[in-house]
Amino acid sequence: MTTTFDFTDQRILVTGATSGIGREIAVQLIASGAQVFAIGRDANALAQLGCETLCLDIANSAVLDLALKDLPAMHGLVNCAGISRLEPAAAISSAAFDQVMNVNARAAAQVASRVAAAMIAAQIAGSIVNVSSQASLVALDDHLGYCASKAALDAITRVQCAEWGRFGIRVNSVNPTVTLTPMAQQAWSDPAKRDPALAAIPLGRFAQPHEVALPVLFLLSAAASMISGVSLPIDGGYTSR
């Protein structure tokens, strides 16, 4: 399958760009002509992308604001940075819960806030895509903090859509299932863990990184010019049950 987009002369910021889905999105955007600004914590991985880079921890609010202040106004943003700390619901720790919420929800909202403010000042009708998860829509064992953070991100998406639509800014989220990045391939290699999860997906397989990246590019593009406030499952039908 060949899917092409043209983002020539468009500046797009991608967080979480050093690995997994975020890296695939950055690579696809660069191949589509975008001027990508990539945020991540791994300087070596960022250097391999061949684009503008910012090496920082987005959980550090002050550092994040300082870095974003020096950027030009963007045409697009992909909030892909995220973490997970697995704990059973009967043994939640405040440290793990706060860390997951700070990265997956608060930092994503902060990045979008600063990027949208610059879009509005520059009169750019941009597009923002928040990378959420099927975990915002269904219960997953040992994922209370993660599920809560992604549900919060979906709610953040709707509020941003409502507030920024008057400026022509569209905001959507994508909600992927397990996506077979190198790390996920190892994590889901055990048949005892993998097979029940696959059985719950009508298409009978996990997602490949490009199968998440391309819908993100669609939502960033003019082809999605009337789509805003949507949380789009990319899950092979998992959340339909």
Domain assignment present for 69:
yes
- For position 1, what pLDDT does the model report? 55
Average pLDDT, the chain: 96
Query: Alpha helices, DSSP H only, in 165-208?
Result: 182-187, 191-199
Domain count within the chain = 1
- Residue 195 counted as domain residue: no
Burial environment of residue 200 by CB neighbours within 10 A (0 to 12, 13 to 18, 19 or more): middle
- Position 156 in a domain: yes
Measuring CA to CA, how many Å separate 196 from each of 87, 142, 201? 20, 16, 9
Q: Are 172 and 219 in contact (CB under 8 A)?
A: yes
CATH number at residue 42: 3.40.50.720
pLDDT of 43 reads 97
pTM: 0.96
Q: What is the pLDDT of residues 179-193, one digit of tens each?
A: 998 878 887 889 998
Q: Tell me, yes or no, whether 220 lies in a domain.
A: yes
Distance CA(52)–CA(70), nearest Å, equals 13
Q: Which two tokens stand for residue 197?
A: 């999860």
d(CA 241, CA 186): 27
Q: Domain for residue 133, yes or no?
A: yes
Which of 108, 211, 182 is CA-nearest to residue 152? 108
* Sites in the chain below the pLDDT cut of 70: 1-2
- pLDDT the model gives residue 52: 98
Tell whether 98 is covered by a domain: yes
Catalytic residue numbers? 146
Phi-psi region of 65 (alpha: psi -120 to 50; beta: other; left: phi over 0): alpha
Report if residue 82 sits inside a domain.
yes
Specify the pLDDT at position 184: 85
On whether residue 151 sits in a domain, the answer given is yes
Quote the pLDDT of residue 225. 98
Residue 15 domain boundaries: 11-179+210-233
